């Protein structure tokens, strides 16, 4: 059964992940912190049910300069205007639990993982992997124009669809609003079908891969050498 509700989510973070395949608590993992999160819940026909936006406290020294240059969220501002991450994440979890929506984002991979990492740090359950998902960015492939960018930016898509600029860039609330608006417009134009909506592979939480002991590698190497010797004996013996 298709989900009855759609939840559009966006985040602003302290940076970008270094290694996307590392578990959230793995040694050397550098999953960024969420500085701002916003979401909107809609009915499938486009009626807004509720919306939320929150700034979050982040650890001292965790805001990277490139991220600050993009969204302008300083540590001092977040300390004053932000809330404890667990408090905000619980509000998001409440809506995920109540509405059981399809979670939609623009470059959803980033939002999925930074929110999942934050839930892990806070010791809260993660409902995101068990809910249906949809990344709007992945239906915005652009023609090969020499820029080496496969997909449109959200601001670019918004301007192409509505012939107007977004009110603000790199603000989680404005990005969530724009994502929802672009989604419904693309669906109205027939570019998002029911099949498209369910056709993307689900995002998953990265898990630790068991490391094979060195002894196992030696056994494989020795077996390979024996096979080569046997092959040579059969061929030349």
In a domain, 37, yes or no: yes
| Beta bridge partner(s), residue 41 | 7, 50
Residue 145 banded pLDDT, cuts 50, 70, 90: low
Q: pLDDT for 161-216, tens place per residue?
A: 999 999 999 999 999 999 999 999 999 999 999 999 999 999 999 998 766 554 55
Q: Which of 36, 78, 83 is nearest to 60 (CA)?
A: 78
| Residue 118 resides in a domain | yes
- Quote the tokens at residue 81: 């205007």
- Give the predicted TM-score (pTM) of the model: 0.86
Please give the Cα distance from 116 to 223 (Å, whole number): 42
Burial (CB count <10 Å: 0-12, 13-18, 19+), residue 147: exposed
Range of the domain at 173: 6-212
Helix (H, G, I), strand (E, B) or coil at 16: coil
Indicate the SS3 state at residue 199.
coil
**What pLDDT digit, counting tens, does each position of 105-137 carry?**
999 999 999 999 999 999 999 999 999 999 999
How many domains is the chain partitioned into structurally?
1
Residue 237 falls within a domain, yes or no? no
Q: Please check whether residue 230 lies inside any domain of the structure.
A: no
CATH number reported for the structural domain that contains residue 114 in this entry: 3.30.420.10
| Confidence band for 141, pLDDT divided at 50, 70 and 90 | confident
Residue 147 domain-assigned (yes or no): yes
Is 125 among the domain residues? yes
In a domain, 13, yes or no: yes
Q: Is residue 157 part of a domain?
A: yes
């Amino acid at each position: 059964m298709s989900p009855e509700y759609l939840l559009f989510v966006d985040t602003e973070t302290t940076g970008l992940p270094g290694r996307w395949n590392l578990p959230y608590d793995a040694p050397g993992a550098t999953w960024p912190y969420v500085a701002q999160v916003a979401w909107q819940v809609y009915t499938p026909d486009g009626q807004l049910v509720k919306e939320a936006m929150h700034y979050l406290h982040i650890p001292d020294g965790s805001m990277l300069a490139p991220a600050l240059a993009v969204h302008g969220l300083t540590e001092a501002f977040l300390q004053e205007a932000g809330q404890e991450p667990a408090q905000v994440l619980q509000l998001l979890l409440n809506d995920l639990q109540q509405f059981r929506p399809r979670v939609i984002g623009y470059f959803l991979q980033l939002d999925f993982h930074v929110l999942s990492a934050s839930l892990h740090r806070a010791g809260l359950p993660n409902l995101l992997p068990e809910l249906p998902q949809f990344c709007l960015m992945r239906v915005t492939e652009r023609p090969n124009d020499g820029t080496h960018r496969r997909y449109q930016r959200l601001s670019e898509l918004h301007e192409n669809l509505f012939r107007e600029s977004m009110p603000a860039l790199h603000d989680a609330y404005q990005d969530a609003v724009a994502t929802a608006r672009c989604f419904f417009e693309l669906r109205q134009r027939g570019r998002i079908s029911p099949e498209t909506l369910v056709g993307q592979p689900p995002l998953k939480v990265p898990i630790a891969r068991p490391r094979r002991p060195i002894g196992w590698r030696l056994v494989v190497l020795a077996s390979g050498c024996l096979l080569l010797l046997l092959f040579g004996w059969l061929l030349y013996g």
